[in-house]
């Protein structure tokens, strides 16, 4: 007899929105959806967030616009798009045939422009929410200029809320001193949800020609390199605001999505990974997350949200105790990687012995943890209390 196993259901609620699964394509990958429909089943996406829309069509920045970096990608597209009217007339009708929520990412050079774009989309059939891009680092006017100032961020949020009944997701920039402050201001101004983080301003230089790779000089850094920054930002904001969070920035595999959700994101947006590896990643993401939920005994992705937050101990509450490295001689394989690491990058606290099993001198050890980090044997080096 076959045992009946119940597959976890993948649906999630984010404020007033319901998605079939928590895996969304972020604005900037997937264009307006139609271009990709022949190659990928749009219905399998949690939601499709279209390329940023402005009031008038935009040509964007001159090329080169994209540069690969270690673990990431710099882009300076400059929000090239067809304009909101062409989107409504030519792109949106096609998307209505699909069973996928469409979120319109919008952008303006002034508050009035943001309002005009929002008002036009409010009347258009087939858009379930607006994502307010106040965080693009690649344009001269608008974008990050709004997202870096809590008063301006709140003002544009409030003004856009006045002209639309659509749920408003405000997309935040990490290029600020205190992202939680901006998040709180935007929440108070009426945002229904937050998405974070947009790209981080960076630069890449050609050593041979001694010139910036990007014509725009700077670009927005995305991809795996920024994932730790995203995690920190989500965790910080989740502790300070009550509205839902859409996590974006450096997620590449299903476990990244789990991590984002564990620190407080309700759903996850993917961009650079789709550009690098193509649509097939979406299947992998979905099946990876489904297996994880199954293995963990969770009935839905919503069960993960915020689960890591109680494990976050704030800096002031951490115990201040001296710790020192301890090597378990029974597990040690005498590779001496720890010896080299401590000699060259630590505090020369590890001595080599004739049997090649290293020994830690606790008077010299400062408990930095480098040896534990490089040791290839799980559990062989532990950090123990001194005294
Ligand atoms: C080529 C490119 C174009 C993008 N265009 C937009 C855009 O139009 N509007 C927007 O809000 N974010 C845009 N983004 C930012 C992404 O939506 C996403 O927030 C960011 O890339 C971080 O996620 P990732 O590391 O998964 O790429 C763009 C990113 C890239 C790489
Ligand atoms: S790195 Fe680990 S296994 Fe290798 S010598 Fe040091 S303690 Fe032993
Ligand atoms: S904890 Fe740091 S100082 Fe101590 S033995 Fe390891 S690498 Fe050396």
pLDDT digit string, tens, across residues 98-117 = 999 999 999 999 999 999 99
Q: Catalytic residue among 136, 271, 342, 371, which?
A: 136
User: Which residue from 326, 330, 333 has its CB within 8 A of the most atoms of ligand 2, so it is best to mutate?
Assistant: 333
Residue limits of CATH 3.20.20.70 in the chain: 12-311
pLDDT at 139 (0 to 100): 75
Q: What is the DSSP letter of 58?
A: B
Q: Which atom of ligand 3 is nearest to the CA of 383?
A: 1
Residue limits of CATH 3.30.70.20 in the chain: 321-385
Q: Quick one: what percent of the chain has pLDDT higher than 70?
A: 98
Question: What does pTM read for this prediction?
Answer: 0.94
State the pLDDT confidence band at 3, using cuts at 50, 70 and 90: very low
Average pLDDT over residues 5-16: 84
Average pLDDT over residues 79-93: 97
Q: pLDDT for 333-345, tens place per residue?
A: 999 999 999 999 9
What residues does ligand 3 touch, defined as CB less than 6 Å away?
325, 341-342, 346-347, 349-350, 360, 365-371
pLDDT at 148 (0 to 100): 92
CA-nearest of 139, 265, 248, 271 to 196 is 248
User: Which residue from 67, 172, 199 has its CB within 8 A of the most atoms of ligand 1, so it is best to mutate?
Assistant: 199
- Distance (Å, rounded) from C-alpha 280 to C-alpha 347? 47
CATH of domain 321-385: 3.30.70.20
pLDDT at 69 (0 to 100): 97
State the fold for domain 12-311: TIM Barrel (3.20.20)
Ligand minimally distant from the alpha carbon of residue 330: 2
Q: Tell how far the Cα of 346 is from the centroid of ligand 3, in angstroms.
A: 6
The yes-or-no answer on residue 380 being catalytic is: no
- Distance (Å, rounded) from C-alpha 51 to C-alpha 240? 29
Considering only 79-93, 126-140, 232-246, 357-371, which range has the smallest mean pLDDT? 126-140
Q: What is the DSSP letter of 81?
A: B
Pairs from 358-361 (Cβ < 8 Å, separation ≥ 24): 358/327, 358/332, 358/334, 359/327, 360/324, 360/325, 360/326, 360/327
Q: Which helix (H) or strand (E) segment is 173 a member of?
A: none
């Amino acid at each position: 007899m076959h045992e009946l196993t119940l597959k976890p259901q993948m649906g999630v609620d984010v404020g007033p929105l319901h998605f079939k699964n928590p895996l969304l394509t972020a604005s900037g990958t997937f264009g307006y959806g139609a271009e990709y429909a022949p190659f990928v089943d749009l219905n399998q996406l949690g939601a499709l967030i279209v390329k940023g829309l402005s009031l008038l069509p935009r040509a964007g920045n001159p090329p080169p616009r994209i540069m690969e970096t270690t673990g990431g990608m710099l882009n300076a597209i400059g929000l090239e798009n067809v304009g909101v009217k062409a989107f409504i007339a030519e792109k949106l009708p096609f998307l209505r045939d699909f069973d996928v929520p469409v979120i319109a990412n919008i952008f303006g050079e002034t508050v009035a422009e943001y309002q005009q774009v929002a008002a036009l989309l409010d009347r258009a059939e087939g858009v379930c929410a607006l994502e307010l891009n106040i965080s693009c680092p690649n344009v001269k006017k608008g974008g990050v200029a709004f997202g870096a100032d809590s008063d301006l961020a709140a003002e544009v949020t409030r003004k856009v809320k006045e002209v639309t009944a659509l749920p408003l997701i405000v997309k935040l920039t990490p290029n600020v001193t205190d992202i939680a402050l901006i998040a709180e201001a935007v929440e108070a101004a009426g945002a229904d949800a937050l998405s974070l983080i947009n790209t981080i301003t960076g630069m890449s230089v050609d050593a041979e020609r001694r010139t910036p790779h990007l014509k725009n000089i700077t670009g927005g850094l995305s991809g795996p390199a920024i994932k730790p920054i995203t995690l920190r930002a989500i965790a910080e904001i989740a502790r300070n605001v009550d509205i839902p969070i859409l996590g974006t920035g450096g997620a590449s595999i299903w476990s990244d999505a789990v991590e984002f959700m564990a620190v407080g994101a309700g759903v996850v947006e993917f961009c650079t990974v789709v550009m690098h590896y193509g649509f097939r990643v979406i299947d992998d993401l979905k099946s990876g997350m489904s297996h994880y939920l199954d293995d963990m005994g969770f009935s839905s992705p919503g069960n993960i949200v915020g689960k890591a937050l109680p494990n976050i101990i704030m800096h002031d509450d951490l115990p201040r105790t001296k710790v020192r490295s301890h090597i378990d001689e029974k597990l040690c394989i005498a590779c001496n990687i720890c010896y080299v690491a401590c000699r060259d990058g630590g505090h020369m606290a590890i001595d080599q012995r004739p049997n090649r099993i290293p020994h830690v001198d606790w008077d010299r050890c400062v408990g930095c943890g480098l040896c534990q980090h490089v040791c290839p044997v799980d559990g062989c080096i532990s950090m123990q209390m001194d005294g």
